[in-house]
Amino acid sequence: MEVLNQSTIDLDRYFKRIHYKGDCARSLNTLFDLHLSHTQHIPFENLDILLGKSISLALPDIERKLINNKRGGYCFEHNLLFAHILNILGFPITRLAARVHYRTNKILPRTHMALLVHHDGSNWLADVGFGGHGLLLPLPLKENVETTAFGWTYRIKRIGHLWALELLQKESWSTLYSFSVEPQEEIDYKIANYYVSTHPDSPFTHTLIVQSVCPKERKILRNKVFTVQTPSSLFQKELKDDEELLEILLNEFGLSFPPNTRFTFKE
């Protein structure tokens, strides 16, 4: 377990970024409220990669990007920031590495970051960085306990020595990712981040992905297809050009770019 005593993060600016006005006491209510506020107000996105920029995991750079510049990021940026916030508030955590299974039958490397939060003898899976199909609220690390929040139902299963996070979709369970509870070090994420942001086999190097979640709906932009999903409906729209893409980024995700911005991805 990890607890930090000092931080350069400006808590007030972070709370303003995620529209959080709740308590800072070390309680499950605080954990749940922070998790929900973060996922609703900081989108998941890989746009810097498609602009030819590198992804820094240094905390000051993450703070500048996600908080000060009001951008989004992907799992390492989101969960490293959230882990630091939780540590400031006194929550012991274990940083995890997960293998994504969603929409693939391939064995992929452990390139997803999640968190295990320890509170009063119980363990909670927290993850503010999985994007459109990810958690809105933490889940107890208990096998086969179904948890429904805002119409979305999840559970955690055991697969041998591993745990697996599953989402109920159309009356069947989809495995999002699997993980062990082995603590990860910063260098582990640096290696995974380099692979995810530079390797041609990584979808983040050639596919535009922007996603946000809230209790009522989930918004997903994949290249030029914009999707809005609720627990009971699905809306899709194909964007006609780069200008409409920039409008969607601003109006639906709060991400502002100059009018001539062009992202490099395979359509």
Where in the sequence numbering do the catalytic residues fall?
Answer: 75, 112, 127
3-state secondary structure of 164: strand
Torsion of CA 37, 40, 42, 45, to 10 degrees: 150
Q: What does the block give as tokens for 105?
A: 């039958």
- Among 89, 104, 116, 113, smallest CA distance to 29 is for 89
> Residue 206, Cβ neighbours under 10 Å: how many?
15
- The continuous run of DSSP H or E covering 12 comes out as helix 11-17
Residue 52 and residue 222: Cα distance in Å, rounded?
A: 18
Residue 222 and residue 256: Cα distance in Å, rounded?
A: 17
- Among 25, 6, 2, 161, smallest CA distance to 94 is for 2
- Among 48, 32, 37, 39, smallest CA distance to 15 is for 37
Torsion of CA 34, 37, 43, 48, to 10 degrees: -40
- Among 80, 101, 103, 83, smallest CA distance to 91 is for 83
- The continuous run of DSSP H or E covering 61 comes out as helix 59-62
